[in-house]
Amino acid sequence: MNLITVFVAISALISLILAFLAFWLPSLNPDNEKLSPFECGFDPLGDARLPFSLRFFLVAILFLLFDLEIALLLPLPWGNQLPTPNVSLIWATSIIILLTAGLIYEWLQGGLEWAE
């Protein structure tokens, strides 16, 4: 048997054992104390699970998309050393055009407006 196969099998076995232990060990009897929010040892002053606007999720997703764009465009300067540097330039331009079109669409749909 290959050494890598043994390591993968052992790590899978350890992962399964830990997953089963994490599932079976905690007590499954929630009471009022366990369900109440913890606020630095004080009694809760209000409801800890307040709803908030879904626009925060939209801003977070847009941030992740543009962060991913930066990660995809980071190797672009090394693309000039390839035998065909035009291919990397075409890919980078297509990524920028696609994300710009998505941002314009989101802007026109009113997803970036904070006023209701």
The string of pLDDT tens digits covering residues 44-75 is 666 666 777 778 888 888 888 888 888 888 88
Predicted confidence at residue 7, as pLDDT, reads 95
Domain covering 3-109, topology: Methane Monooxygenase Hydroxylase; Chain G, domain 1 (1.20.58)
All residues at 6 or more sequence positions from 32 whose CB lies less than 8 Å from its CB, including other chains: none
Angle at 104 between CA 103 and CA 106, to 5 degrees: 65
Predicted confidence at residue 116, as pLDDT, reads 60
Measured over the CA atoms of residue 60, residue 61, residue 62 and residue 67, the dihedral's sign is positive
Q: Which residues of the chain have pLDDT under 50?
A: none
